[in-house]
A and B are shown apart, each in its own frame.
Chain A
Amino acid sequence: MSTVESPPDAEVDAVLAERVAALIAVHGADAPDLLGARFDAGLAFVHHPVGLGGLGLPAPWQARVEELLLAAGAPAPAPYRNPLGIGTAVPTLLAHGSSALQQRHFRPAWTAEEIWCQLFSEPGAGSDLAGLATRAVLDGDTWTVNGQKVWTSFAHVARWGLLLARTDPDLPKHQGLTMFVVDMQHPGVEVRPLRQATGGQEFNEVFFTDVTIPDAHRVDLRGRGWDVARTTLFNERSAVGARPVPREDGHIAWLADLWRSRPDLRTHEMHGRVTDAWIRVEALRLANERIRQLAATGRPGLEGSGAKVAHTETTQVVTRLRAELDPEAALRYDAWDPALAPPREDRVAGYHYLRSRPYTVEGGTTQILLSQIADRVLGMPREPALAKETPWSEIPR
């Protein structure tokens, strides 16, 4: 915490310690209402303004709050229950939403009483997200939405969605988009689960038929949707966590454990491949740890895109190797019916082999990310493209 300069460290630390102690004293370390009370005490997002789950402190203090809570016996927060609410909807609304939207949504998103989804990708707009076609038409102070979204996680359980829609088709594609908060319980919203090659159903297709949205649920100005979406996607990609990742975490641990516990599987060739995989994962962990340390000093990093490319490709190597190392097991599968599947950490190697294949596609393909690095980090000449001022309605599709 020595990198946080003002206000003075000791003073802030004392305030946080006092608040955590008061919180635990009133609610206990493991009470069901602890999350809500944390929000009310300003300990949910310390960098938020007072009243919106925060204390107006620099963001790095959040790590100190987590430390204090952990020391007090409180369970680690479970953002995985509402990752898109906490990870993307809240920061997006913080930067771009009206005060009314912030007041309404932050607390139930934090407590996971209201789950969020993110309605961006469409069948015709994957990598070219800004080319999306779902239309929102304004009449009075109500918008009417028609169109289709796809690859929407959590849509089947979501109470709210962050919806990117086209409001002005005759403007250039980036300028004709607007962001909305959409009620997923509206009768015109139909959610259909999308079955994947693993048998699992993590994603959905979402169909909008004459779904109405009050203009008060618009996020930022009409036509500013692309800027808002960039905030959302930036937060989605800042996946590098607040605390260091231990050595041999996740897939590589499963691979190393298999190698150590099954001498009968060892060959020289596999030894080389397992060692190489271990080196790649450890190097990646250190590169991410460096990004984390840079971020903690407030130095902005453009390294996120590179980390995603390296992480996904390395994970694919590791999951494939784990399956190949034990071929008897890799020929078999645990369950094609998601209702019968064991928890993720207990699934067979074949599942993880399959599930990691699209890692290099989802959340920004490797090719798009490499192009971004070439553009934004290395300042390379641009690829040939349609003139930026081409109206969306005139783009061939």
Chain B
Amino acid sequence: MSAVSLLESEDGVALAQQVRALAADWAPGEPRPEAWRRIGADLGVAGLLIGEEHGGAGVGMREAIAVAQALGRGLTVTPFLPSAIAASTTLLGLGGPGEPARVGALLTELAAGEAVACLVVPATTAPGCLPCLELARLDDDLLVSGSVAGVLGATGADRLLVPVRDGAGLIGLALVGTGPGVSVGAETSLDEGNPVSVVALQSAPAVLLARGPVVADAVQAGLRAATVAIAAELVGAMEWALEASTSYLADRRQFGRQLGSYQALRHLVARMWIDLQQAGAVTLNAAATLDDPDQPEAERDLAASLASAHVRTLAVACLETTLQVHGGIAFTWEHPLHRYLKRAFSLSMVHGTTDHHRRQVARLADLPSPEGEARV
């Protein structure tokens, strides 16, 4: 438990400022066709975690969370979370010495922002779980059939990473492109800006990227990194909420006074600020712990679940309070609050519920459940 740096990465903050400047005039939560070309490719955000040998920046989660925070603050719609974090971290977990050529080529495409990838698992899949499509055999080239619902980031993705398993229980990761036998149908989602989809595969041609235990470890690392990026997005949403609330309280007058002169409301926003400080600190800790090669696996899991459990609770409450501070105006379709609230509430259930992460903290902190063992 050596202390990690809880200060922001300066490079990350500089990049995040570029992201914010670029998207400053974009309406929160509105998809823009040029978003990923400009943020992912032009600013190099797509290849943030991918090594220089594949054309990426080769930096870590401390830089990634600065970008995630900027995207969360502006509610900027990009495939950053599913592609640049979850899928890229998974692929990096398959890399290293003896890296399959197809993995390297895919990372190069992703780093350039030329392709967008997505892990085809239900969005509720927690790190450590691995729902797979069942196949008879794991050949290098195969045809995949089956359907997965509730997938985040599949609309707009053209490289689908599908966990598969053969009859003997051997796990693999199949790469499916777009084309015949592949259909991605967006489901009507609570968060329209970031919808879940049904991915239906019917004898879709696929390449097996890897097989064996390495796949489960890589997917787990990908989902764990995603939970930390989610925490950072939520910190960004809290920043937006605090800014929106304080400026509204300064502008709006009732009973002849600025709303911000009423103590009940002043104290609500003061507590939002305190929560934001804590949310920022646990997220920085999680990112720095994932980046630090000297940290044991259990410590990484703990840092990620601590950030998830704490930030999700604080962020949803913060956005709910933002509605209360604004009154009815914030419940209208025109006001951006509902988009932030839907995003935060949805993300609070992605890759493990808040309660799941709480139980993980209990297990890793050696706080046994009444059965005498930690239940996962």
- A377 CA to B271 CA in the complex, in Å? 12
Question: Is B358 a contact partner of A287 (Cβ separation < 8 A)?
Answer: no
- A268 CA to B361 CA in the complex, in Å? 15
Cβ-based interface call for B71 (8 A): no
Cβ-based interface call for B282 (8 A): yes
Cβ-based interface call for B372 (8 A): yes
B361 / chain A contacts, CB cutoff of 8 Å: 275, 278-279
Contact of B366 among A260, A282, A309, A377 (CB under 8 A): A260
Cβ-based interface call for A303 (8 A): yes
Tell whether A374 pairs with B282 under 8 Å between CB atoms, given A266-B369, A278-B361.
no
Cβ-based interface call for B284 (8 A): yes
Per-position binary interface string of chain A over residues 367-395, scored 1 when its CB falls under 8 Å from any chain B CB and 0 otherwise: 10011011001111111100000000000
Cβ-based interface call for B229 (8 A): no
Cβ-based interface call for A267 (8 A): yes
Cβ-based interface call for A294 (8 A): yes
Cβ-based interface call for B359 (8 A): yes
Cβ-based interface call for B89 (8 A): no
Question: Is A283 a contact partner of B246 (Cβ separation < 8 A)?
Answer: no
Cβ-based interface call for A256 (8 A): yes
Interface size class of B (residues with CB under 8 A): 35 or more
Cβ-based interface call for A289 (8 A): yes
Per-position binary interface string of chain A over residues 262-280, scored 1 when its CB falls under 8 Å from any chain B CB and 0 otherwise: 0100111001101110111
Residue of A nearest to B250 (CB): A381
A residues near B (Cβ < 8 Å) are 244, 246-247, 256, 259-260, 263, 266-268, 271-272, 274-276, 278-280, 282-284, 286-287, 289-290, 293-294, 297, 303, 306-307, 309-310, 367, 370-371, 373-374, 377-384
Question: Is A371 a contact partner of B270 (Cβ separation < 8 A)?
Answer: yes
A285 to chain B, nearest CB (A): 9
Contact of B257 among A244, A259, A280, A384 (CB under 8 A): A384
- A367 CA to B280 CA in the complex, in Å? 23
Tell whether A271 pairs with B273 under 8 Å between CB atoms, given A263-B372, A293-B7, A380-B246.
no
Question: Is A282 a contact partner of B306 (Cβ separation < 8 A)?
Answer: yes
Cβ-based interface call for B260 (8 A): yes
Question: Is B250 a contact partner of A380 (Cβ separation < 8 A)?
Answer: yes
- A102 CA to B285 CA in the complex, in Å? 42
Per-position binary interface string of chain B over residues 274-311, scored 1 when its CB falls under 8 Å from any chain A CB and 0 otherwise: 10011011101100000000000000000000100110
B266 / chain A contacts, CB cutoff of 8 Å: 370-371, 374, 380, 383
Interface of B is mostly: helix
A259 / chain B contacts, CB cutoff of 8 Å: 367-368
Question: Is A384 a contact partner of B270 (Cβ separation < 8 A)?
Answer: no
Question: Is B263 a contact partner of A371 (Cβ separation < 8 A)?
Answer: yes
Given contacts A283-B281, A286-B282, A378-B242, 11 further A-B contacts (CB under 8 A): A256-B367, A274-B367, A275-B359, A275-B367, A286-B278, A286-B285, A306-B274, A374-B266, A374-B267, A383-B261, A383-B262
Residue of A nearest to B359 (CB): A275
B21 to chain A, nearest CB (A): 23
A380 / chain B contacts, CB cutoff of 8 Å: 246, 249-250, 260-261, 266, 269
Question: 24 A-B Cβ contacts within 8 A?
Answer: A256-B365, A259-B367, A260-B368, A263-B370, A266-B369, A271-B367, A272-B358, A274-B362, A274-B367, A278-B365, A279-B306, A286-B281, A290-B6, A290-B281, A293-B5, A306-B277, A310-B274, A371-B263, A374-B267, A377-B270, A380-B261, A380-B269, A383-B261, A383-B263
